[in-house]
Structure 1
Amino acid sequence: MLALSKLPAATWASYVEGMAAGESLARPAARCGVCVKTSWFMRMRVLEAMRSQLQPMRGGDGVSAQADELYLNESFSGRRSGMPRGPHANGHGARSRGISSLKVAVVAVVNDLGDCTAVLAARGRPGAEQIRAGLAPACVTGSEVSTDMHSSYAAPLAEAGAASRNRYGAADAGEDELGMVNALHERLRGFLWRFRGVSTRRLQRYLWWFCWEEHASRSDASREAMLRSHVANGSYVSTRRDLEEEPQPFWDFWESRDESDVSNLA
């Protein structure tokens, strides 16, 4: 990362200090002498370095895991003239309640060893294919896995080698049944709230950050020291052009609708 950057190592060290402290894009930009857009590109590159350092989940006999979806309102970035609908005024979300096509699903998996994964998997309620993608980075081989009653977990968990699957309805799921994953969802909501809205287009990158934070919380090293090491030894894949041209996930939903449909969903 440093070899391909025009910025000195000291600037990057100052920048990750701000990331570790949870600063906005503007504060480290001013401190490092770069514009906000460059600050954003720097953040995206640090997030890729974080992803490369994520530890794989552990599974096996005696390991219990829980999986469930978290539904978030779809969020757009960019100029409003290029968006399929108007903004949700005053921070309000979609009109429809519950699970709808205006929400996106994050499949989260956590085990009793403290390992976790989070994957942006679908628009609305995910089917078996989307659940399979959401479970891909999670090792559940030989583990006992608890989920809600959603039937789409059955085949992907069997294919992943889970030892067993326990299903719980909303009324039956207590602290011991789905408590770990529900707590993970609450921490994830709190994490995303810090940024006052994350575009769905960039959401997966912030999910990497969240999972990295979960791992870092168990380390004796400081977050700042860990990030400095990631920058000094890490690399990134996405160029500026890649990031600028990154597509909005699940865009085919909007492409298949005419103007009247869009106005009704706005």
Structure 2
Amino acid sequence: MGCAVEEVVRAALGLDAGDRAAVAGAIVVSLAEEGAARARAELAEPSCCPRCGAGAPARRGRDARGRQRWLCRGCGRSFTKESFGLLSRSHLPASTWAEYARAFAEGATLRDCAERCGVCLKTSFFMRHRMCEMLGIETVTLRPSGAPVEADEAYLPASFSGNHSRDPSFSPGRPSRRRGGTGGGRRRQERLITLADGRGGSEVGVAWGSPLGSAVAMMRSSLGASCVVRTERGGQMGHAARLAGLAQERAEGRVNAVNAVHSRIKRFMRRFDGVSSRRMQSYMWWFSWADTATGGVAGRLRELIALIPVGRYRTTWRAMVEAPYPPPPVPICASKNV
């Protein structure tokens, strides 16, 4: 560090806790704004449509702000290089997103985040889910390195909380019950498909409908053809690995790496006091990122600040509000020969 930087650090360390937090917040805001400006300047020509993924877009004039627009040859809609970016359609400045990232990295509640950022509770809720979706799109939390990847299922209580008046035909698929208890066994719980590598990385997906089909799709999208999937002797994960065209290895005992991930998932979810089943995947993206991030709160904050200017999302506010509830789980018959 130079002399000037050392003097600034010494001066900051001489402040009380509140003033040091204010200085740190100002630095975070400045970094976020600089990163957003740099990302806008460095964006290259888009290679595909952010909506449908079709390639080779064509130039199509400019928008009201002078930005180059592109026409998708697949869906026929136009877009700019900033379309579906975290900051592109937000009415909030980068400084507000930076402060929200700081609260998000610390694991603050929705109300605390809203108070710190000067927004309402509804906006804080939307910002959290947009952050989670950005993490699911932009980060890779599973990195197979030649060692077998462990696969298994976990179960969390199904929840149908939300405004059911938006869909008069809504039915939870089970009778109502009082709070407490396990909710009728595993057939009425949400299944999580978990993949864990040997280096602490993991990926967690929510199985909607058929858990076998969800596991096959997840393995095909996340694992290479040369990966070996290690499973327990019972259950459906071995069958899913074979259907996905992957080699399967039966563990002699327990799959300890993935069981440890399940333990951390339940500890992570306990603080939220229940999550609606249709929002569960967002929290699994959040968990997978937080579980593999290094450097504590400061490390997570650095990663978020770097992602905010370039991070993208797919789910609009309307789509999130109108998101359907998952169908009732499809019971499967596990065989000892799988």
Both structures adopt the same fold (TM-score exceeding 0.5): yes
Residue 114 of structure 1 is matched in structure 2 by: 200
Residue 148 of structure 2 is matched in structure 1 by: 64
Taking only the aligned residue pairs, the percentage that are identical comes to: 33
TM-score (norm 1): 0.79
TM-score (norm 2): 0.64
Task: Give 1:16's aligned amino acid.
Answer: A
RMSD in angstroms over aligned alpha carbons? 2.7
- Using a 3 Å threshold, how does the CA distance of structure 1 residues 202 and 48 change in structure 2: closer, same or farther? same
- Using a 3 Å threshold, how does the CA distance of structure 1 residues 218 and 69 change in structure 2: closer, same or farther? farther
Structure 1 runs of 4+ aligned residues shifted over 4 Å read: 80-83, 85-88, 218-221
Partners of 1:50 and 1:208 within 8 A in 2: yes
Structural mapping, 1:147-226, within 5 Å: 147-150=231-234, 152-167=236-251, 173=253, 177-217=254-294, 222-226=299-303
Residue 82 of structure 2 is matched in structure 1 by: none
Query: What CA deviation, in whole Å up to 9, does each residue of 1:1-56 have, x standing for no partner?
Result: 22321111111111111111111100111121111001001111111211122216
Helix, strand or coil for the counterpart of 1:158? helix
Alignment partner of 1:92 is 2:178: no
- Using a 3 Å threshold, how does the CA distance of structure 1 residues 70 and 236 change in structure 2: closer, same or farther? same
Residue 122 of structure 2 is matched in structure 1 by: 37
Alignment partner of 1:245 is 2:322: yes
Further displaced range: 25-34 or 134-143:
134-143
CA distance in 1, matches of 2:124, 2:237: 40
Q: Give the Å deviation of 1:90.
A: 4.1
- Using a 3 Å threshold, how does the CA distance of structure 1 residues 91 and 83 change in structure 2: closer, same or farther? farther
Q: Give the Å deviation of 1:122.
A: 4.0
Q: Give the Å deviation of 1:87.
A: 6.0
Partners of 1:70 and 1:106 within 8 A in 2: yes
Partners of 1:107 and 1:119 within 8 A in 2: yes
Residue 5 of structure 1 is matched in structure 2 by: 90
Q: Give the Å deviation of 1:215.
A: 2.4
Residue 230 of structure 1 is matched in structure 2 by: 307
- Using a 3 Å threshold, how does the CA distance of structure 1 residues 179 and 45 change in structure 2: closer, same or farther? same
Higher-RCO chain (CA-CA 8 Å, sequence separation at least 6): 1
Q: Give the Å deviation of 1:142.
A: 2.7
CA distance in 2, matches of 1:89, 1:136: 40
Q: Give the Å deviation of 1:134.
A: 3.7
Partners of 2:227 and 2:247 within 8 A in 1: yes
CA distance in 2, matches of 1:137, 1:219: 29
CA distance in 1, matches of 2:257, 2:180: 29
Q: Give the Å deviation of 1:209.
A: 0.7
Q: Give the Å deviation of 1:207.
A: 0.6
Alignment partner of 1:50 is 2:135: yes
* Structure with larger Rg: 2
Query: What CA deviation, in whole Å up to 9, does each residue of 1:105-140 have, x standing for no partner?
Result: 1010101122211111145x833x232134244315
- Using a 3 Å threshold, how does the CA distance of structure 1 residues 76 and 109 change in structure 2: closer, same or farther? same
Give 5+ residue unaligned stretches, structure 2.
1-85, 331-338
- Using a 3 Å threshold, how does the CA distance of structure 1 residues 18 and 223 change in structure 2: closer, same or farther? same
The correspondence for 1:105, drawn from 188, 191, 199, is 191
CA distance in 2, matches of 1:157, 1:29: 43
CA distance in 1, matches of 2:110, 2:227: 40
- Using a 3 Å threshold, how does the CA distance of structure 1 residues 139 and 149 change in structure 2: closer, same or farther? same
CA distance in 2, matches of 1:218, 1:144: 30
- Using a 3 Å threshold, how does the CA distance of structure 1 residues 131 and 150 change in structure 2: closer, same or farther? farther
Partners of 1:140 and 1:160 within 8 A in 2: no
- Using a 3 Å threshold, how does the CA distance of structure 1 residues 140 and 186 change in structure 2: closer, same or farther? farther
Residue 104 of structure 2 is matched in structure 1 by: 19
Q: Give the Å deviation of 1:182.
A: 0.5
The correspondence for 1:144, drawn from 228, 234, 254, is 228
CA distance in 1, matches of 2:329, 2:150: 31
